[in-house]
């Protein structure tokens, strides 16, 4: 009898928001990064230093089948979700920057992660309706902060002041999309939170037309060179 490996992903703070991967990825994450790091010191050369543990990154690649097939789908038919719903959920987690739990009892997998990138194809030749994806994950560790006292000095000592985010009263009227942008990322920069729906509603006609031309099933996709209206 065939033994399936079940993989589930859910929000750390909301387990009811989850997906199950219907098709097992080709590989599961097993490597662990050490604390050693090679740095290049000017005038000295390369040296190995040991610091804090690194955040491992790994990629899962598989596909969401358009039709349920018990011969390879590791999920019951009653809980099976369509490819578009699964992709929409992954995009939502990216936009909202949600810490997630990646879990598989059979695969000995239990990690707190975030999704750092997602690429997918709506179809491949001979696989009508299937959505093939490649998702990059990074192990997540909740930040630990502490307060430090800063001594005031005259001037800034030649330190460059980081670019400030625009305030609500000084928002630009438009923004040109750059490579790697997505609605949640743009909204986070201008508003301080990933309110992608606000940007989408203000640019619905523009975004829908671009996605129709690109034959994209994800209505929130934006493309480099697009000009977006930035509502206040």
- What does pTM read for this prediction? 0.51
Q: Which strand (E) or helix (H) includes residue 121?
A: strand 109-121
% the chain with pLDDT above 90: 17
- Choose which CATH entry (1.10.357, 2.40.30, 2.60.40, 2.40.160) describes domain 7-139: 2.40.30
pLDDT band at residue 150 using 50, 70 and 90 as cut-offs: low
Domain coordinates of the chain in residue numbers?
7-139, 168-229
Res. 6: pLDDT tops 70: yes
CATH architecture of the domain formed by 168-229: Roll (3.10)
Long-range pairs of 193-201 with CB within 8 A, sequence gap ≥ 24: 194/95, 194/96, 194/97, 196/95, 196/220, 198/231, 199/228, 199/230, 199/231
Higher pLDDT, 216 or 151: 216
Average pLDDT over residues 183-204: 87
Res. 50: pLDDT tops 60: no
Nearest-angstrom CA–CA distance, 200 and 206: 9
């Amino acid at each position: 009898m065939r033994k399936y490996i079940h993989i589930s992903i859910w929000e750390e703070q909301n387990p009811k928001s989850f997906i199950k991967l219907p098709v097992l990825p080709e590989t599961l994450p097993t490597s662990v990064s050490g604390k050693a790091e090679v740095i290049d010191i000017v005038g000295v050369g390369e040296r190995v230093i040991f610091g804090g543990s690194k955040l491992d990154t790994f990629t899962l690649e598989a596909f969401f089948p358009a039709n349920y097939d018990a011969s390879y789908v590791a999920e019951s038919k009653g809980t099976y979700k369509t490819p578009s719903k699964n992709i929409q959920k992954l995009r939502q987690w990216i936009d909202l920057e949600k810490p997630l739990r990646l879990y598989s009892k059979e695969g000995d997998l239990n990690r707190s992660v975030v999704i750092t990138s997602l690429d997918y194809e709506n179809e491949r030749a001979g696989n009508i309706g299937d959505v093939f994806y490649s998702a990059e994950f990074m192990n997540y560790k909740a930040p630990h902060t502490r307060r430090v006292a800063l001594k005031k000095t005259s001037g800034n000592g030649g330190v460059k002041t980081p670019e400030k985010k625009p305030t609500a009263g000084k928002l630009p009227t438009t923004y040109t999309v750059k490579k790697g942008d997505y609605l949640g990322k743009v909204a986070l920069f201008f508003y301080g939170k990933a309110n992608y729906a606000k940007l989408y509603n203000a640019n619905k006609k523009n975004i829908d037309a671009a996605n129709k031309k690109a034959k994209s099933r994800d209505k929130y996709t934006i493309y480099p060179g697009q000009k977006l209206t930035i509502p206040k």
